Amino acid sequence: MLDDVLASVPQDTKIVVDGTLGHWWHTRAILDQFPSVKKVYWFDLDPNILSETKNRLSDLSDKIEFAQDSYTNISKVLWDAKADFVLLDLWVNMEHFKDWWRGFSINYDSKLDMRFDINSKTSAYEIIHDYSLEQLSNIFQEYADFTAQKSDEIARHIVKSRKEKAIETTFDLKNILNQVWLGQKASTIIFQAIRIETNKEIDNLKLALGQIPAILSTWWRFGVITFHSIEDRIVKNYFKQLSQDSNFQLLYKKAVKPYYTEVQKNRASRSAKYRVIQKI
């Protein structure tokens, strides 16, 4: 959704925040198109991605401040500066799935990890082994949209299985899910729910949205690209609530979705939704 993002950037933008660095395509394009930009703050929890990007963009080092940190700390990193444009692209970087040993993909047998920040204390392994039956069931209901009955069934089987033998790898978990009649697609959704919990993705999104009034300069914008219905619902409701304040308004009445041509080139974009709020 590069064209949509660029169309929402204010013309005189000076300070940009990219809260989810990833492959940096969005903000590199912003730097190319908007010479007024003086500083870009880039956030990413993954030290490998951050290091690679630093090397690739060494020619722009005078304009970029890298932060190996969560975008929940935007206001702390900005300190007393105000952002003109903030972007959160909530899609999971595909490098995490390509690095099979990190446990994100259901297609490779590896340790249960799923951490964006490799220094984080809690991995998927701890969640599978330490969470109670009720906690596991709630994850599957809230983040995977399974019914309470099915979520309880999955959680009970995990708790029963971990008492018999440690669930150490992605294939261990996949086999357990298969035993409660979950196929590849449904098991992938469970993996996604565990990843969301491992990285506190929903909690972090709420924390970031709560900083909007404090970090935006006058007349500027905060955009979020979501790929999950729960994320989009949170952004939609918060933006709607914020727009009731006379200091804020929605840039678009409805979420912007990718054109069919983009979906043809990149199927992963088909669930993307882009929403923008602006301070006035």
What range does the domain containing 6 cover? 2-94+202-279
Indicate which CATH number applies to the domain containing 143.
1.10.150.170
- Predicted confidence band of residue 56 (pLDDT cuts 50, 70, 90): confident
Tell whether 206 and 182 lie within a shared domain: no
Q: Decide which of 180, 198, 216 is a domain's last residue.
A: 198
pTM above 0.85, yes or no: yes
Tell whether 86 and 26 lie within a shared domain: yes
Tell whether 75 and 135 lie within a shared domain: no
* pLDDT for position 244: 93
159-217 confidence digits (pLDDT tens): 999 999 999 999 999 999 999 999 999 999 999 999 999 999 999 999 999 988 888 88
Tell whether 187 and 225 lie within a shared domain: no
Tell whether 273 and 155 lie within a shared domain: no
Q: Decide which of 170, 198, 226 is a domain's last residue.
A: 198
Tell whether 190 and 70 lie within a shared domain: no
Tell whether 11 and 88 lie within a shared domain: yes
Tokens 């940096």 -> residue: 24
Q: Is the pLDDT of residue 94 over 70?
A: no
Tell whether 194 and 209 lie within a shared domain: no
> Does 252 reside within a domain?
yes
Indicate which CATH number applies to the domain containing 258.
3.40.50.150
Q: How many domains does the chain have?
A: 2
* Cβ(158)–Cβ(136) below 8 Å: yes
Q: Is the pLDDT of residue 129 over 90?
A: yes
- Predicted confidence band of residue 97 (pLDDT cuts 50, 70, 90): low
* Cβ(86)–Cβ(5) below 8 Å: no
What backbone phi and psi angles, to 5 degrees, belong to 278?
Answer: -125, 145
> Does 55 reside within a domain?
yes
- Predicted confidence band of residue 95 (pLDDT cuts 50, 70, 90): low
Tell whether 249 and 183 lie within a shared domain: no
